Structure 1
Amino acid sequence: MSVVFDKESTRVAFGNALVRMAEEDDTIMYVAADTLKSVGGTQIKQKYPNRALNIGIAEQNMALMGAGMAASGAKVFVATYATFASMRICEQIRTFICYPNLDVKIVAGLSGLSGGQEGVTHQGIEDVGVLRSIPNLVIVEPADAASTEVITEAITKHKGPVYMRIGRNASPTVFDDTYKFEIGKANSLIDKGNDAAIFTTGAAVRRALDAEKILAAEGYGVKVIEMPCIKPLDEEAVIAAAKATGLVFTTEDHNIIGGLGSAVSEVLSEKYPARVERIGIRDQFTESADHEELLDKYCLLPRDIADCVIAGIKNK
C-alpha cells in the first residue's frame, strides 16, 4: 500500500502557520524550553527575534513566563516535548494557566511514538490522559501538515488555554488546504456502511484510513471519523455512530487509558451504551526503536487495526 508523505513535518507546519498569524497579531509570543528548533520555533525566531524566547531546559519557568505574559495581554505559545509539556509542567498548566483561563497555547512535540529511538523519556503516550481532566483546557491533535496549519490558525483565534500534540518527522499526507476544523467537532472521512465505526485522531488517522481500504477489500463497510479535538469531544458524533453501528473502535498514538478511547467510552457509558474497543498502547512502557518498528511491535499498523475490527464485527 503506497503512502505519500508531506514535504513538511507537523512541527514545521506549525511554525509556518505561527509566523503568518504573528504577522497579523503583534501580541503573539513564543517561548521554548531548549526546543526552539525541534518544536517549530525557527521561523518566528528568524522573522521576529524579540518575540521568540529560548529559556533553556526549564519547562516550569517556561509555563510561568507564558502565564505572566498572557496575564499582561500577550497571546503566548509555549513549546516543549509532550512528556514534559504534560507531566513536568502539569501543576503550572492547571493552576497558573487553566485556572485563570489565560490565553496560553501549549505545543507538545514528539507526541505519541514519534520520539522513536529516544525512548520512554521522550515518547509522549500518557499526555492526554494526564491533562484531560483539567477544566478550561482544549486538547487538539492534527493528522498531518495541512491540518496542523489550519488548526494552529484556529487555536490562535481561540481565547483560552489549548494543548496541541504534534510529531517529529514528515507525516503521511491525509488532507489538503481545503481541510476544515472547528473546536469540539468531528470530521466524517468515510461512511461506507454500518459494520463498525472507527474514531481516530492525529498520527493514527492515516493508518485508520488505510485499514478501511483493507476492510473494504474484504467486504466490510465501516465509518471512519476523525476527532481532531479530543476535548471538548463531539459527543453527538460519537452517539450517532454508535446508534448506526452498535460497534465502535478508537485508534490513537497514545495509551488506551485516558486518551481518545477513554473519552469515547465515557460518553457512550453515560448516554448510549455500546461496545467500544480501544486500539493503542496497552498500558505499558514502550521501547526504543524507529517509529515504524514501534507501530509494528505494538500492533498499530493498518493490518492490525483491520484485523481487530474484523474480529469485533464477527462477534457482534
Structure 2
Amino acid sequence: MTAPTQLEEFLGLLCEELVCDDSRRPCFVTCDSASTFRLPALLERHGLPHIDVGISEALGLGLAAGLAAEGRTAFVAAFAAFGTLRGAEPLRTLIDGEKADVVLLGGMAGLSAGPDGVSHHALEDLAFFRPLDSTRVYTPSDAAACRWVVADLLSQPGPAYVRLARVPVPSWPGQDTDGPLRWLTPRTNGPVVCGYGPSLLAAAGAFGEAGLGVGVLEFRRCQPLDASALRGALGGTDQIVVLEEHRAGGGLADRLREALGDVPVHEMAVAASPGSGTYMDLLNECGLAGPRAVERVRSVLRPDSAV
C-alpha cells in the first residue's frame, strides 16, 4: 500500500476534526484542484460540502470570504503558487483585512510540484504573507506536526495559510512536543539550523549521517512568532542558520531577524527555481538536502563549532 502524502495526511486529520464541530459549518472551495488534493472521496466520506470554481483562485478566495461573512469556515484548496500569486488581492483585502475565517490550503508548496516545473513552484508565498499580520502561517512536516497544526488552526477563527506538499513524509523519530517549535535533535546552545516542512527533515537526516554537530529546530508555525519563546528555545547560541525552501527575502530568516534583533542569522534559501525533477532531486540541487546541505551549513559555522 502506498504511503499517504503529507497533503493527504493533513486533510484526513482536518476532516476528522471538522465533523466533530458543528459550530464551524465548514465548506471546501477548490480551484480545479479537487482531484489533485484527493478531496472528492474524503469529503463525501465525511459529509462535508464542496464547491469548485474552476481555474480561478481569486474567485475562489472571494467566494470563501463571502462564506465566512455568512458564518462559515471556508477552506480553499489551491496550488500554493497560484493561490498566493493569483489570489493576492482577495487575500489581502477581503480575508486578512476583514479577519475572515478563511484558510488557504496551499498544496504542492515549495519545490514539491516537482516535475510541473518553475510555473508551479511556490518559493515566494511566505514573503507574500509577511506583512499580513492577521494571517497565521503554518509549515508542517510529518504526521505529528500535521496533528499539532490542525489543533492550533482550529483553536481560533480567522485567516490562515497552510503550506503543504504532495510527497510522503516519514515520521521523525523521538518524542513529539506540543507547540510551534520542535527540536529534531537534542536541544543545544551550540549552532542551530532552523527551518520547516519536509525539506528540513531531509536536511536533518543528512546532518545526522554526516555527523555534523548542529541542533535542528523545526518551525511548525512561522507566523506569528513568539519572540520570548524563540529566545528561550535558542538559548545563548550566536550561530543561527536558516535553511529554507523559499527564495531569499521574506521567509523565515527575515522573521527571525525581526524577532531576535541583535543575533546574526545566516540565510540559506533557494537562489533560483531549479526547473523540473523529483522533489528530492530538486532539494539536493538547491542544497537543501544531502551532502550539499551539509557543506552549505558547514561553510558558515566557526571551525571549532561543528564537525
Question: Normalising to structure 1: TM-score of the pair?
Answer: 0.87
State percent identity of aligned pairs: 25
Asked if 1:297 corresponds to 2:282, the answer is no
2:64 pairs with one of 63, 66, 69: 66
Structure 1 residues 247 and 237: CA distance shift in structure 2, 3 A: farther
Alignment deviations for residues 137-196 of structure 1 (CA, whole Å, 9 cap, x no partner): 0000110234224312331232110100000121232268x74454xx322332354330
RMSD of equivalent CA atoms: 2.3
Give unpaired runs (5+ residues) of structure 2. Answer: none
Distance of aligned partners of 1:208 and 1:238 in 2 relative to their CA distance in 1, 3 Å threshold:
farther
Number of residues of Structure 1 aligned to a counterpart in Structure 2: 301
Amino acid at match of 1:209: A
What is the aligned partner in structure 1 of residue 184 from structure 2? 189
Distance 1:208 1:289, change over 3 A: closer
Give distance in 2, aligned partners of 1:50 and 1:262: 38
- Would the aligned equivalents of 2:80 and 2:163 in 1 still touch at CA under 8 Å? yes
Structure-2 residue corresponding to 1:202: 197
Aligned equivalent of 1:246, options 218, 238, 252:
238
SS of 1:57's partner is coil
Aligned: 1:287 with 2:275: yes
Structural mapping, 1:101-112, within 5 Å:
101-112=99-110
Q: 1:62 to 1:175 in 2, by over 3 A?
A: farther
Change (3 A) 1:243 1:148: closer
Matches within 5 A, 1:188-267: 188-191=183-186, 193-214=188-209, 217=211, 220=213, 222-240=214-232, 244-267=236-259
Partner of 1:307: 295
Alignment partner, residue 3 of structure 1: none
**Retained in 2: the 8 A contact 1:111–1:124?**
yes
Q: Cα–Cα, structure 1 residues 37 and 237, in superposed 2: closer, same or farther, change >3 Å? A: same
User: Superposition pairs for residues 1-316 of structure 1, below 5 Å?
Assistant: 7-26=3-22, 27-47=25-45, 51-174=49-172, 179-182=176-179, 185-191=180-186, 193-214=188-209, 217=211, 220=213, 222-240=214-232, 244-268=236-260, 270=261, 273-282=262-271, 284-314=272-302
Is contact 2:99-2:134 (8 Å) kept? yes
AA aligned to 1:314 is R
Cα distance, 1:15 vs. partner? 2.2
- Cα distance in structure 1, aligned partners of 2:54 and 2:47: 16
Cα shift at 1:20: 0.9
Give distance in 1, aligned partners of 2:287 and 2:226.
Answer: 27
Using a 3 Å threshold, how does the CA distance of structure 1 residues 181 and 83 change in structure 2: closer, same or farther?
Answer: farther
Shift of 1:267: 2.2
More strand by share: 1
Cα distance in 2 between the residues matched to 1:14 and 1:194: 32
Counterpart-to-counterpart distance in 1, 2:75 and 2:300: 42
Between the aligned partners of 1:136 and 1:77, the Cα distance in structure 2 is 17
TM-score under structure 2 normalisation? 0.89
Whole-Å separation in 2 of the counterparts to 1:150 and 1:43: 24
Q: Is the 1:17–1:153 Cα contact (8 Å) retained in structure 2?
A: no
